[in-house]
């Protein structure tokens, strides 16, 4: 752990938690875009889960010019979700009076008005527990492609509607980089040890109030390679994948929600035990159905691709065969229509 | 005939446009005299601009008839000719409409401003106003800025914000920005001769504008900048100018014509002035400019630079089919390799360590 001058002074209003993991290449850009924010009452808490020394060197360079950066090195590799959680735990212990929290990545870029805009948005309405900005995607060619708007996870009243919205439309990898009330972060279990922990966090946070989108592109995301569930499993659980983590992710979420909200009553008084059970059930149903639909869409697409890849003579045969079946059908239908007309004529 | 011409000339001499021209000309002549006395060499015009400026001599002794049609005489700056927009060229007008629609489909804000008919403004009549390549270019640039997150800081009217344009040409983009954000302050740094266009045009388009002139007004006093609409500074005074703040530096299609050391001097100075952003629409360098290697590489030394993909054709070309071409542009993957010979919309964000 590196200590720095200025600690112990009054708590900043916002903590930016930056989990680090061997991403030195884009770290200077990420840090500079945060230090340049027009809203200045924040601390960046970096928890380094990586193996290289470069990240520490870079952070140290910026610590020389700005006292708002804290750096902590994990004694052993924690894995993705645990390191994200560690950020919050360090922030809570170091700055217990901080009101707001945001996770920030070590390879993205933030518009200098990002924090000012999000703080203003969350301050406007006490029912808002989280806000996030629209994003654009950066590629290696340094292009920026704006993404379409993500729906706000507004407090729409019925859990049914909200959970369906989350299951179908949420881009968790984007919305998770929003600004949340510290109290909500705590109540939503910080970052639980499940796959797609960001999705589960946003689901839980939305039970305590609105999670709103600010309609401005203020966050620039750099994709970090193709997503795969196996890759996430390995990065979340570097010391061995527990048995429950081998379940489908939506079952893991439903299980956690049932345990935490339904049995332990962690959401009370806002979410009663009964409501918690209902949330767990609905989450399982909607997410499960969404996954099944996704598989079905993939299967249909894959089947079409496989037919495309077939040798020409086979494809031609398949096409002819389907044509002949279609002709049979047409002939039969025509015959039926004729017979029906005859009947009607009689 | 002679009488009517004399009467018209006399009227035009009294018109606001010509009086504005005379005022700006006096200032430009002062600036040129100072340049000769001081013998500045850092910002000597590149070979390209030296040749261009030789064709502008007649503007130092322009007739009121020339000023009345000043936009027609801006051909040297933009390459646009009023002739191409005359009546009877409706087919060409259709193509402009297609491109305007394509751009509108990309825009999230209403950022289009028609060309004003002022001082001989020209264009195809579309949606009740004049549209030409310049107006489409400015629209495209504003959309790119919006997509790059540069316009949010201007709020409703741009109050309190200062924008620096390096090379404003005839003043078309400052006119557009001022129309959209009436309270923004626009600082223009340019070759002195070009203020004969932009200075005259902007003062005439905005008769009540508060304009500060380098050498006449004290630009070192931060209070002097308060409420200023435009600030004109010759390129040779770049090292001296220090606005109280700078929110955006921008350049369109002139970095590519400069020498590498000139581009570097501008980009470095914009960084020194504290600008959080720099926007550029340029090729890496013009085909015939051997005094420059890469605009984006120079920008990248002081600003984290990102390219904003727009239409599949550059600002000078028209589209065949708005829907298809826009779809094609959207399908461009984020990691598509940029074409070095094409115009690129680059948004730069300030680096701390350079």
* CB atoms near residue A208 (< 10 Å): 20
DSSP β-ladder status, A109-110 and A179-181: unpaired
The CATH number for B191's domain is 3.40.50.150
Mark yes or no for CB contact B307/A141 under 8 Å: yes
Kindly report the number of other CB atoms within 10 A of residue A96's CB atom: 9
CB atoms within 10 A of CB B161: 18
CB-nearest partner of B335 from A29, A141, A217: A141
Q: In sequence order, which residues have a C-beta less than 8 Å from that of residue B20 and are 6 or more positions away? A: B199, B200, B203, B204
User: Domain limits at B266?
Assistant: 2-350
Q: CA nearest A149 in B: which residue?
A: B108
Q: How far is A144 from chain B (nearest CA, A)?
A: 5
A149 vs chain B: nearest CA distance in angstroms? 11
CB contact under 8 A, B338 and A35: no
| Ranges A304-308, B5-9, B115-119, most confident | B115-119
Say whether B353 and A142 touch across the interface (CB within 8 A): no
Q: Is the peptide bond before B130 cis (omega within 30 degrees of 0)?
A: no
Per-position b or e across B303-314, b if 16+ CB within 10 A of its CB: bbbbbbbbbbbb
Question: What SS3 class is residue A82?
Answer: helix
Residue A210 pLDDT: 86
What pLDDT was estimated at residue B46? 72
* Other beta carbons less than 10 A from residue B222's beta carbon: 11
d(CA B89, CA B221): 51
Beta-carbon neighbour count of residue B258 at 10 Å? 29
The domain ranges of chain A are 14-242, 310-345
Q: Does residue B91 surpass a pLDDT of 60? A: yes
CB atoms within 10 A of CB B26: 12
Is there a contact between B309 and A61 if contact means CB atoms under 8 Å apart? no
Write down the ipTM of this complex: 0.78
Query: H-type helices in chain B, by residue range?
Result: 2-14, 16-38, 47-54, 64-68, 75-78, 90-106, 133-147, 172-180, 195-205, 260-272, 295-302, 322-331
- Give the per-residue pLDDT at A1: 42
* Chain A residue closest in CA terms to B144: A144
Which residues of chain B does A144 touch, with a Cβ-Cβ cutoff of 8 Å? 147-148, 306-309, 334, 347
Contacts of B307 in chain A (CB under 8 A): 141-144
B335/A29 Cβ within 8 A? no
| CB-CB under 8 Å, A143 with B338 | yes
Q: Would you state the pLDDT for residue A330?
A: 54
Q: Which residue has the tokens 């070095």?
A: B340
Q: Which residues of A touch B148 (CB under 8 A)?
A: 144
How many Å apart are CA B154 and CA B131, to the nearest integer? 25
Query: What is chain A's pLDDT, residue by residue, as a tens digit (346 residues)?
Result: 443 434 445 789 999 999 999 888 899 999 999 999 999 999 999 999 987 889 999 999 999 999 999 999 999 889 888 999 999 999 999 999 999 999 999 999 999 899 999 999 999 999 899 999 988 887 665 677 666 556 566 555 567 777 877 777 777 888 899 999 999 999 998 888 888 899 999 999 988 988 888 888 888 888 776 667 777 787 778 778 888 888 888 999 999 999 999 999 998 888 899 999 999 999 999 888 888 887 666 556 655 655 555 445 445 544 454 445 445 545 555 555 555 555 555 4
DSSP A148: P
Residues in CB range of A318: below 8 A, 6 or more apart: A307, A310
- Sign, CA dihedral B166-B171-B176-B181, equals positive
- Interchain contact, A62 vs B351, CB within 8 Å: no
- Give the one of B152, B337, B349 whose C-beta lies nearest to A141's C-beta: B337
Q: Does B328 touch chain A (CB under 8 A)?
A: no
* Short-list A235, A255, A236, CA closest to A244: A255
Cβ–Cβ gap A65/B351 under 8 Å: no
Of B147, B276, B351, the CB nearest to A144: B147
Q: Does A139 touch chain B (CB under 8 A)?
A: yes
d(CA A339, CA A81): 68
State the Cα–Cα distance between residues A78 and A87, nearest whole angstrom: 12
Going by their DSSP bridges, the two strands A69-73 and A42-48 should be labelled as: parallel
pLDDT band, residue B330 (cuts 50/70/90): low
Q: How far apart are CA B99 and CA B313, in angstroms?
A: 10
pLDDT beyond 90 at B114? yes
Pairwise CA distance, residues A127 & B98, whole Å: 45
Q: Do B352 and A62 touch (CB under 8 A)?
A: yes
A109 contacts chain B (CB < 8 A)? yes
Contacts of B275 in chain A (CB under 8 A): none
Q: Helix, strand, coil proportions of chain A in percent (round to 5)? A: 50, 15, 35
Q: Which of A36, A66, A111, A214 to mutate to probe the B interface, most B CBs <10 Å?
A: A111
CA distance A137 to A220: 6
Does the CB of A36 have a partner CB in chain B at under 8 Å?
A: yes
pLDDT category at B331 given cuts 50, 70, 90 is low
Is B333 at the interface with chain A, CB within 8 A? yes
Q: Do B276 and A33 touch (CB under 8 A)?
A: no
DSSP A153: B
Q: State the pLDDT confidence band at B41, using cuts at 50, 70 and 90.
A: low
Determine the distance from the C-alpha atom of residue B135 to the mean position of all C-alpha atoms in its chain, rounded to a whole number: 11
Residues A131, A117: Cα–Cα separation, whole Å: 9
- Tokens for A131, please give them: 């806000």
Per-residue 3-state assignment (H helix, E strand, C coil) for B109-165: CCCCCCECCHHHCCCEEECCEEECHHHHHHHHHHHHHHHCCCCHHHCCCCCCCEEEE
Integer Cα distance of A50 and B125 in angstroms: 61
Strand partners, A228: none
Interface contact flag, A140 B335, Cβ < 8 Å: yes
At residue A5, the pLDDT reads 38
Mean of pLDDT over chain B: 89
Give the residue from B78, B41, B48 showing the smallest Cα distance to B291: B48
Does B245 reach chain A within 8 Å, measured CB to CB? Answer: no
Name which of A36, A61, A138 is nearest B306 (Cβ-Cβ): A138
Strands B230-234, B185-190: pairing is: parallel
CATH of A14-242 given 3.30.9.10, 3.30.479.30, 3.40.109.10, 3.90.550.10: 3.90.550.10
What is the number of structural domains in chain B? 1
Nearest Cα neighbor of A281 from A249, A257, A265 is A257
Is residue B312 predicted with pLDDT exceeding 90?
Answer: no
> What is residue A243's predicted lDDT score, i.e. its pLDDT?
81
Q: Write the pLDDT tens digit of every residue in B49-88.
A: 788 788 888 999 999 999 999 999 999 888 898 888 887 7
Q: With an 8 Å Cβ cutoff, are A144 and B333 in contact?
A: no
């Amino acid at each position: 752990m590196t200590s720095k001058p200025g600690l112990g002074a009054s708590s900043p209003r916002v903590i930016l938690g930056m989990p680090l993991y061997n991403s030195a290449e884009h770290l200077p850009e990420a840090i500079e875009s945060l230090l340049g924010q027009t809203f200045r009452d924040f601390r960046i808490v970096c928890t380094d889960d990586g193996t290289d020394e470069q990240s520490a060197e870079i952070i140290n360079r910026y610590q020389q010019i700005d006292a708002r950066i804290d750096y902590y090195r994990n004694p052993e590799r924690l894995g993705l979700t645990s390191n994200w959680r560690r950020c919050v735990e360090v922030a809570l212990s170091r700055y217990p009076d901080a009101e707001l929290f945001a996770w920030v990545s070590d390879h993205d870029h933030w518009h200098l008005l990002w924090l000012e805009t999000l703080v203003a948005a969350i301050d406007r309405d006490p029912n808002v527990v989280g806000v996030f900005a629209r994003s654009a995607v950066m590629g290696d060619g340094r292009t920026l492609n704006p993404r379409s708007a993500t729906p706000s996870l507004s407090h729409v009243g019925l859990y049914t509607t909200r959970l369906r919205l989350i299951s179908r439309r949420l881009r968790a990898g984007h919305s998770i980089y929003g600004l949340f009330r510290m109290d909500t972060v705590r109540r939503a279990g910080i970052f639980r040890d499940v796959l797609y922990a960001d999705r589960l966090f946003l689901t839980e946070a939305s039970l305590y109030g609105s999670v709103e989108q600010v309609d401005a592109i203020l966050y620039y995301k750099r994709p970090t390679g193709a997503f795969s569930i196996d890759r996430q499993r390995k990065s979340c659980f570097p010391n061995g994948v527990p048995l429950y983590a081998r379940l489908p992710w939506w079952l893991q979420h439903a299980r956690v929600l049932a345990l935490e909200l339904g049995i332990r009553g962690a959401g009370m008084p806002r979410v009663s035990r009964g409501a918690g059970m209902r949330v767990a059930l609905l989450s399982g149903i909607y997410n499960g159905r969404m996954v099944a639909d996704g598989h079905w869409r993939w299967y249909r697409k894959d089947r079409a691709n496989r037919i495309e890849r077939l040798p020409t003579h086979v494809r031609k045969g398949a096409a002819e065969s389907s044509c002949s079946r279609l002709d049979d059908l047409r002939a039969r239908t025509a015959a039926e229509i004729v017979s029906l007309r005859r009947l009607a004529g009689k | 005939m002679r009488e009517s011409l004399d009467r018209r000339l006399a009227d035009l001499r009294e018109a606001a446009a010509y009086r504005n021209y005379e005022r700006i000309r006096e200032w430009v002549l002062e600036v040129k005299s100072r340049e000769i006395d001081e013998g500045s060499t850092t910002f000597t015009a590149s070979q390209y601009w030296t040749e261009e400026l030789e064709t502008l001599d007649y503007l130092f002794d322009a007739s009121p008839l020339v000023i009345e049609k000043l936009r027609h005489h801006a051909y040297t700056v933009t390459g646009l000719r009023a002739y191409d927009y005359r009546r009877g060229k409706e087919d060409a007008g259709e193509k402009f409409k297609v491109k305007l629609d394509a751009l509108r489909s990309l825009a999230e804000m209403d950022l289009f401003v028609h060309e004003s008919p002022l001082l001989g403004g020209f264009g195809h009549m579309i949606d009740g106003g004049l549209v030409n390549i310049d107006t489409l270019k400015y629209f495209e640039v504003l959309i790119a800025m919006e997509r790059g997150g540069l316009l949010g800081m201007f709020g409703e009217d741009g109050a309190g914000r200062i924008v620096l344009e390096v090379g404003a040409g005839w003043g078309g983009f400052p006119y557009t920005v001022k129309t959209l954000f009436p309270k923004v302050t626009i600082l223009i740094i340019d070759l002195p001769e070009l203020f004969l266009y932009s200075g005259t045009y902007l003062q005439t388009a905005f008769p009540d504008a508060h304009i500060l002139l380098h050498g006449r007004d004290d630009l070192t006093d931060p209070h002097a900048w308060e409420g200023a609409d435009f600030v004109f500074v010759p390129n040779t005074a770049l090292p001296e100018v220090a606005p109280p703040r700078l929110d955006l530096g921008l350049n369109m299609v002139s970095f590519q014509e400069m020498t590498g050391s000139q581009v570097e001097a501008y980009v470095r100075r914009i960084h020194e002035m504290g600008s959080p952003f720099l926007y550029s629409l340029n090729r890496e360098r013009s085909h015939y400019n051997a005094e420059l290697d890469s605009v984006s590489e120079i920008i990248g030394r002081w600003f984290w630079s990102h390219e904003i993909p727009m239409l599949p054709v550059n600002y000078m070309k028209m589209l065949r089919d708005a829907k298809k071409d826009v779809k094609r542009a959207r399908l461009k993957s984020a990691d598509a390799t940029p074409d070095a010979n094409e115009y690129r919309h680059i948004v730069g964000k300030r680096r701390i360590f350079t």
